[in-house]
Chains A and B, each alone.
Chain A
Amino acid sequence: MRKSSALLLRLFASLLHLYPSGFREEFAEEMQVVFADGISESRERGSLALGSFFLRELADLPGNLLREHWFELLGRETVMYAKLKMGADLAGGASLRDDDYQPASWLQAGLAGLPHLLVALILLPGVLMAYGLLPGFQSAWNVLGIVWAVCLGLMTLGILIYVWRKGWPRWGASWYVYAVMLAVGGLLAVFQFGESTLGDVILGILLFALFPIGMAIFFYLVARKDHIKGLLLALPFMAIFWFVFLEFVSNRLELLLTLLAFLFSGLVALVIVRLGDWKLGIWLALGLTLISGLGASFAYFYHVEYPPGVNFSPPPANLSSFADFYFPQLLGSTTLILGPLLLWWLWQLGKRSGHMGVLGYNLIFIGMLLILMSNIGNFWLVTQSQLWVYRRYAGSGFAYGGLLGILLVITGSLLLVLAAWYNQTIQSRFMLAWLVLSSLSMPWVFVLIYVAFGMPNSWVATIEPYKFLVYGAGILWVTLTSWLVTHLDLQLSWAGG
């Protein structure tokens, strides 16, 4: 073999290391043989043919790498796809994904819980100091705390590179949100925000429209392909979601509750990955936001400490105010867990229910995406004080975006119900009834989430007398939806096959 050919072969073998590990293990050896065949044949036709062959391989490489990493990142698409396409018998109760969700090792489970536990660890000295258990540590902590946070940031980057090299293992999803936060935090630290220049407007559109849409689609795609990865993505939000409202709560209680929320998030992530059980994971994640929310709402009303000079009238500390704060936020946070999985379920239903079913699903998909985007956008708006200059119009935009989403969901749901009924795709009358109930209750469940962010006052006044009914419907909706998405295999017939 000529020197140049040997060199090209070595170069190709090195480039194969850029592929995800799973792909590499399965195909690298074969690819090298095929490449060697190509080199050998091209060389016989001259240097030009050899160069042209190698350039073609090189030109295709970036696209191929991106595609393979994308498929790896999204989980076990091909396995699940194969089972669907080969006509797995859903009516018989055979689970689509049971084989794909295996228990992980303690190490992998620990790595899934680690980012949340590290955040809890960072908060621990602050809590101890706030309760007077670490006297004289404050000045040292001012330096150590920063060093610790920087270490966590670097560790997140290191882990991301590691999970990329390992082919995006499931536990890595726990770190994605921290990586995004790190990137966006860096962006926010660099830019100054205002309302005047074109640059500000472009940045505003990026942050309030494109970024939430991108996040929502990413959430959906990841959760649809791998439910556990989807849950791991949502978990940090279950902890953070509530504690952005605790700015005026006594410092030590705020720190303690935040620490506990991250601690529980870490434990929940660990348990989900260790057991490989996404169905249990849904209930654990819902329990996490339920309990975190109770603690945060209690502190919000009963342990407020305004600093001197703050002129603000707090809402009265009674059950009604408590409910107004707790339930809408609770329902909002659950959309991050249930939204993507519900869509997955509806897709299964839609594609078995003919063209009208697919149309219904598509309308629901766009509607849910708008709702999810509005929730993420609102979260973003509330958590980043630098962005409050945009609050007036961005808040209204999210409110009406959310409402449009609700209308699309209702229309799509009704179409889907009709298509499922006509095609006899759902065996269970109970499930058909749930779809109707869901269509009717969705607007009332989610409308309250947007009240604080730009809903007209007259609308709020209309809803006020019925709000406990609405909250009850919301909780019922969450419970039924959770049950539904965990019983996919029992509810659909294979009539469309």
Chain B
Amino acid sequence: MNAIHDPQEDLPLTESTFFILLSLAPKPKHGYAIIKEVEVLSGERVRLSTGTLYGALKRLLGKGWIKRFNQSGDDETGRERKSYTLTNYGRYVLNADIDRLQKMVNTAQKFSMGGQR
């Protein structure tokens, strides 16, 4: 690849996309673990149905933000499951959105506390 695409064009992420990517940030997860993690991270506001999750995963795979692999012994049954992990570019996009949100919060906090711009 000769050039890095500017992630700003993909921002802001939708809430679901943001939480899916965030749930994969510490370590790879399989589908159901993503649903549960998104529920926890969002304070139970975002509850993904199976169809919504896999629609989103399909598009994230297509964009190259995540990748899929077989992970054996992932759960208590020891069976092999498909798991998902962030790609470098996916992590780059996620960090860019976190940075964007952070700046917004900083600005909002400064403004609301002191009324300064």
- Report which of A60, A61, A494 forms a contact with B3, defined as CB distance below 8 A: A494
A-contacting 9-mer, from B20-28, B48-56, B97-105: B48-56
Q: A61-B49, A497-B5 provided; 7 other pairs, C-beta below 8 A?
A: A57-B49, A61-B51, A67-B55, A78-B61, A81-B62, A85-B9, A88-B1
Report whether A86 and B52 are in contact in the complex, using a CB–CB cutoff of 8 Å: no
Asked whether A92 and B35 contact (CB < 8 A) given A26-B58, A27-B54, A31-B51, the answer is no
Q: Report the separation of the CA atoms of residues A31 and B32 in the bound assembly, to the nearest whole angstrom.
A: 9
Report whether A78 and B63 are in contact in the complex, using a CB–CB cutoff of 8 Å: yes
Name the A residues within 8 Å of B47 (CB-CB).
56
Q: How many Å from the CB of A150 to the closest CB on chain B?
A: 38
Kindly state whether residue B2 has any CB partner on chain A within 8 Å: yes
Name the B residues within 8 Å of A61 (CB-CB).
49, 51
Q: Report the separation of the CA atoms of residues A327 and B64 in the bound assembly, to the nearest whole angstrom.
A: 46
Report whether A89 and B63 are in contact in the complex, using a CB–CB cutoff of 8 Å: no
Name the A residues within 8 Å of B54 (CB-CB).
23, 27, 30-31, 34
Q: How many Å from the CB of A409 to the closest CB on chain B?
A: 25
14 contacts between A and B (CB under 8 A): A23-B58, A34-B30, A35-B50, A56-B49, A60-B52, A67-B55, A78-B58, A78-B59, A78-B61, A81-B63, A86-B64, A87-B4, A494-B3, A497-B3
Report whether B89 and A86 are in contact in the complex, using a CB–CB cutoff of 8 Å: yes
Q: Report the separation of the CA atoms of residues A79 and B47 in the bound assembly, to the nearest whole angstrom.
A: 28
Kindly state whether residue A464 has any CB partner on chain B within 8 Å: no
Instruction: Name B72-112 residues within 8 Å CB distance of A.
Output: 81-82, 89
- Report which of A30, A84, A497 forms a contact with B31, defined as CB distance below 8 A: A30
Q: Contact mask B1-21 → A, CB, 8 Å, 1/0?
A: 111111001100000000000
Q: Report the separation of the CA atoms of residues A33 and B63 in the bound assembly, to the nearest whole angstrom.
A: 25
Report whether B32 and A34 are in contact in the complex, using a CB–CB cutoff of 8 Å: yes
The interface residues of chain A, by DSSP majority, are classed as helix
- Report which of A23, A31, A65, A351 forms a contact with B9, defined as CB distance below 8 A: A351
Report whether B49 and A60 are in contact in the complex, using a CB–CB cutoff of 8 Å: yes
Name the B residues within 8 Å of A310 (CB-CB).
none
Name the B residues within 8 Å of A494 (CB-CB).
2-3
**Chain B residue at minimal CB-CB distance from A495:** B3
**Chain B residue at minimal CB-CB distance from A77:** B62
Q: How many Å from the CB of B115 to the closest CB on chain A?
A: 30
Report whether A68 and B64 are in contact in the complex, using a CB–CB cutoff of 8 Å: no
- Report which of B31, B58, B64, B89 forms a contact with A33, defined as CB distance below 8 A: B31
Report whether B5 and A38 are in contact in the complex, using a CB–CB cutoff of 8 Å: no
Report whether A89 and B59 are in contact in the complex, using a CB–CB cutoff of 8 Å: no
**Chain A residue at minimal CB-CB distance from B47:** A56
Name the B residues within 8 Å of A247 (CB-CB).
none
Q: Report the separation of the CA atoms of residues A31 and B6 in the bound assembly, to the nearest whole angstrom.
A: 33
Q: Report the separation of the CA atoms of residues A81 and B5 in the bound assembly, to the nearest whole angstrom.
A: 12
